[in-house]
Structure 1
Amino acid sequence: MMKSFVRIGLVLGVIGSHLLLNPVSLPWKASSPLLGTAPVQALTIDEIKAKLGPVPVFTITDANGAPLVATVPAGQNSSDTASVAGVFISRQDALKFVENLRNRNPELANSVRVTPVSLGEVYQMNEQGRNNPDDLQFAYVPVQAQVDSARAVMEQNGRSPNEFNGVPLFMAKGGPDDGYLTIQRGEEQVIPMFFYKEDLQGMLTQFQQQQPDLISSVTIQVVPLEALLEAFRTDDHQFLDRIILVPPRETLQYLRDNQP
């Protein structure tokens, strides 16, 4: 039976206003796509779900909240198929998908809607079906302009832009110790990763006003969301504990304007 999503509630106040460069450099390990070989203990599914819970994404669902599913080939055997639902970072991209669907199948398009859901819930459902190919799988749909920005960042950092695939997440490093740019949340310093490069640039503008002597040392880094989720699942590292994902400002504004 197809599971339904619970519509996400209003999620605001995701980031704080105090910026600083973390004086402690947390190194990346070279042997892993993100952080390194898998150590003893990683985050549990519940811990990952809690970390991803405040991040709204968008799916195409029917009136009951069940996601619209496409059947795609799976594996080397041409007869094998998988059921896949799209998870859109941008609501506008989801709306364009429905509009394109309307041109091909008006009856189906009239029966579906764009629904905001929690990335944490999507992750949990995806993990529950990890070992069962018959269960629903999810494909994250990036914003093409952000993919272009990610590839430009890769090129600026001396890497091939063709190496990047997936949903980009942007963060910043700099200062004397090449530390990660952090924000103060309560009593802890957390490392924000942004879905939109423009949102990170807005934070860097604020940082430049606060510490103009350090802004010249700041560089932007980019990693795929998919690699981060895998690192959450398999790696145990101080860096991962301190990461928060910052939703696009346009998404938060939409929720402010439309959620009861």
Structure 2
Amino acid sequence: MNLDKCFSNFQNVLSDIQTNLSALAHNNPHARPPFHNALSALHRAFQGPTLSPPWARVAQSIMPMPRQPMSWEAIEERLEGVPVYALSNASEEFLLVAGVSTGKNLGLFCFNEDDAQALLRQVSTVDPRMRDGSKVVPVALNKVFQLKVNGVAFRLIPEQSQVKNALRVREKSGFAANSFPGVPVFQSKSLILKSQDKRYRPLFFRKEDLEKSLHRASSDQNQLNPTLRQGDIQVATLEDVIKQMKENSTSKWEDVVFIPPGFDVSTDPRKQRTP
């Protein structure tokens, strides 16, 4: 299987944007630019994600009552330390892509800042007026899930390298596929965090961060409890995890915490640190 063919989603997004915008300009040269300010002041409300590691806050998390789905407030608390990246103009308003075929405006949020920078360059090429003052801004992931604007669809763009990792993990598990249906999150049965007599399973947005955490946990447990062994890595979609946390009273995801990209964790609280 040629995995490289599976990871053209981001390039296709950029290509489709350029194609659609070129067609729009050709058909109506006097039309307003497709990147406009439909979300005025949203960036000011949502700028600056909290980048402190989420396991430092799990003790204050609102845990669900037995047999009850998690509250949205509890889910948001798990997501608030995870940054994504969007495009903003000089007035600190989000830039939206006009969907020619769907009739909806599209707001894109990248998990990788370099992908957002590439999108900004593409936008500036298509519409040079966007060059002055436009920039990439971080947004807390929980705020993205709060956004509800008529006529606007919001899309999360995962890191291409992590989509590749997700497909490889599934292939090793006997589920070969040509595409991945969302934002991949990785976990291991061997990695458990403890806080005030509660147990939490960390979900990682980068497989490499999980592998570093497993290596560190193995070193910790060789000193504290030598029974820990590195286990298999599993992958799920962020969208499905959140849906089950929100809707399912018997969700298997209610004990998870989300680890921001670039962080790894230790099972020994004395050694928990950021990179």
TM tier, shorter chain?
0.7 to 0.9
Aligned equivalents of 2:151 and 2:78: distance in 1?
A: 24
Select between 188-197 and 105-114 the one with higher mean Cα deviation. 105-114
**Which amino acid is the alignment partner of residue 84 of structure 2?**
V
Aligned-pair distance for 1:167? 1.1
Counterpart code for 1:14: P
Q: In 2, Cα distance between the equivalents of 1:238 and 1:214?
A: 28
Work out the CA distance in 2 between the residues paired with 1:41 and 1:226. 19
Higher relative contact order, structure no. (Cα contacts within 8 Å, ≥ 6 residues apart): 1
**1:107 aligns to what?**
129
Q: Which residue of 1 aligns with 2:51?
A: 11
The structure that is strand-richer by fraction is: 1
- Residue 217 of structure 1 and its aligned partner are, at CA, apart by 5.5
Q: 1:49-60 counterparts in 2 under 5 A?
A: 49-60=76-87
How many residues align structurally? 212
Q: What is the aligned partner in structure 2 of residue 96 from structure 1?
A: 118
Please state whether the residue corresponding to 1:229 is helix, strand or coil: helix
| Partner residue in 2 for 1:201 | 211
Conserved 8 A contact 2:87-2:94: yes
Cα distance, 1:60 vs. partner? 0.8
- Deviations along 1:100-121, whole A, 9 cap, x unmatched? 2233323213332111111111
User: In structure 2, how many angstroms separate the alpha carbons of the residues matched to 1:142 and 1:169?
Assistant: 10
In 2, Cα distance between equivalents of 1:115 and 1:102: 16
**Which residue, 181, 185, 192 being the options, matches 1:165?**
181
Instruction: String of CA shifts for 1:210-243, please: whole Å, max 9, x gaps.
Output: 3466565600000111111222231123632211
TM-score, normalising length from structure 2? 0.68
Between 112-121 and 5-14, the greater mean CA deviation after superposition: 5-14
Which is greater in Rg?
A: 2
CA distance in 2, matches of 1:52, 1:225: 11
- Give, in angstroms, the shift of residue 42 of structure 1: 2.4
3-state SS, counterpart of residue 241 of structure 2: helix
Structure 2 spans left out of the alignment, 5+ residues:
1-37, 57-65, 264-273
- Aligned-residue sequence identity (percent) comes to 25
**Cα distance change, pair 10–233 in 1 and its aligned pair in 2 (3 A):** closer
Q: Which residue of 2 aligns with 1:29?
A: none
**How many angstroms apart in 2 are the aligned matches of 1:200 and 1:211?**
16
For residues 243 and 233 of structure 1, do their structure 2 counterparts lie closer, same or farther at Cα, with a shift above 3 Å needed? Answer: same
Q: TM-score normalised to the size of structure 1?
A: 0.72
Distance 1:89 1:195 in 2: 9
Secondary structure class of the residue paired with 1:8: coil
Structure 1 counterpart of 2:95: 68
Structure 1 runs of 4+ off > 4 angstroms? 212-217
Distance 1:238 1:226 in 2: 14
Compare 185-194 and 113-122 and name the one that shifted more. Answer: 185-194
